[in-house]
Amino acid sequence: MKPPGGLGGQTLSHRAERGDVVLAFMFPGQGSQHPGMGRPWAGHASWSVVHEASEVLGRDLAHLLLDADAEELVATANAQLATYVTSLVVLDALRCAGVAPAACAGHSLGEYSALTAAGALSFTDGLRLVQARGEAMAAAAGARPGTMAAVIGLDDDAVAEACRQAGGDVWVANLNAPGQVVVSGAEESVVALHKTAKALGARRILALPVAGAFHTSYMAPAGEALAAALARVTLRPPRVPVVANVDAAVHREGREWADVLLAQLCHPVRWRQSVARLVADGATTLVEVGAGKVLSGMARRIVPDSGSVSVSTPEEVERLADVATPTSPRPPTSPEGEHLHMAERLVVSPAAGVFSPAERWRENLAGSRVEVGEVLGTVGTEEIRSRFAGVVMGIIAHDGEQLVASQPIAWLRTA
C-alpha cells in the first residue's frame, strides 16, 4: 500500500477561504437500518435505483426497505444491503438536483457508499461487494457469535481500560465522537464491560442492533471471501478524496482501497479522526447521506464550528439543493451536442439508469470512428445512439455506473 495522502487540502481549503460551501458527504453504516426506511422514497424518481439493484442481485430489495421488520433487518446481510441501497437512492436524488461532494467518508459499511459516490466503485460492483461482505460477515458471526455496545460518557483511554478490566474478548471498535466509543466482542465480555465502564464513570451503555463482533479479530474468517470478491471488481482512483476508516487518511489509487477495505474488517473505525480530517482540509458542510441522523449528530460534537446536516428524504434533498452553491462540484449537465471546443461534441444518456457499453466500446477505443446512429451502449433498457459522426476522444461513463438523464457518455471530435 502506498503512503496515504491528504485531501488535496490546498484546493479545498482555498475554496473554503473564498467563502464557498464545500460539501463532504458522510455515509452511514450498519445499525442505521430501521423498518420502513425506504418509505419516503417510494414513488420518487430515484426509487428506480432500488429496482435496478434488485435486478442486479436477483432479490426483492424493495421488500427490505418497505416491509421488513426489525428482526429481519438486523440480520447482517440484510442490514448492509438495506443501508447501502438507501444511501444510493439519496445519492441519486442529490445528483439529479446538481449537488455533489468535494470529498467523502463512510462509517464502516458506509465506506462502500463513499467509494461508489466518488466513482471508485461502479453501481453493480458496489452492490455485489456489499452483498459478499454481508454474507461473509454473517458467516463469521455465526461461527463465532458476538455483539457491540456504545459507551457514553468516557474518553477513549477509559473505555480501553474498561475493556481490560472486563477480561475476555472485548475491544474498542469505533472511535465515534468525544464521549462516544463503541466496543465489540463476545456477548458475555460485553455484558461484563457494562459493570466496569459504569464503575469508571460511564453515563450509559447502549446495545447496538447488530449481529456480530464487528471490527475485531472475530471477523478474520470473512477476509478470504471478501478478498475474493474484491479481486472480481474494478476499483478505480476516486474522483474526489475519500477518507478511510482505518487511518483517517486519503488513499488515491483504486487497488490501495482493496487493502483498506480488507483491513477495515478487523480494525477500529477512526470516525472522529476521519471527520476532523474532512474539516481540517477544507470541508465546510458535512452532509449525512442515507438513513438516520446519527453521523450528523456526531459531527456536531466532533467539529462544533462546522455545519452538518442529514439528508434522508426528498424534502431534505430539496433544502440542501437550495443552499448548495455553484462552487460545489456538480455532475455534468451539458445538453447533447454542446460544443466543448469548435469541433467537439458530447453524447449524453437519454435517461437515468445503469450504463452498459456496447461490446465494441468496452475497451474505450479512443481514436476510433463512430458513425451517426451507432449504438454506444445502453442505459437500463434504452439504447444510446450517437447523433454525430466523428472520432471518439473518450468514453466518459464506466460500465455499471449509475447515470442520471443527460449525463455525458462519450466525447467526440467531429472535424
> Bridge partners of 24?
103, 286
Contacts with 221 (C-beta within 8 Å, 6 or more apart), sequence order: 136, 139, 140, 143, 144
- Catalytic-residue membership of 339: no
236: left (phi over 0), alpha (psi -120 to 50) or beta: beta
Write phi, then psi, for 359 (nearest 5 degrees).
-55, -40
- Catalytic-residue membership of 13: no
Measured CA to CA, the distance from residue 153 to residue 119 in angstroms comes to 38
E strands in 15-143:
23-27, 103-106
In angstroms, how far is the first alpha carbon of the chain from the final one? Answer: 44
E strands in 264-403:
285-289, 307-311, 344-348, 353-357, 369-370, 375-379, 382-385, 390-395, 402-403
Write phi, then psi, for 72 (nearest 5 degrees).
-70, -40
- Catalytic one of 46, 87, 108, 310: 108
Measured CA to CA, the distance from residue 391 to residue 413 in angstroms comes to 5
H/E element holding 316? helix 314-323
Measured CA to CA, the distance from residue 94 to residue 330 in angstroms comes to 10
> Bridge partners of 308?
286
Q: Which of 108, 125, 138, 122 is nearest to 32 (CA)?
A: 108
Q: What positions carry a catalytic annotation?
A: 108, 215
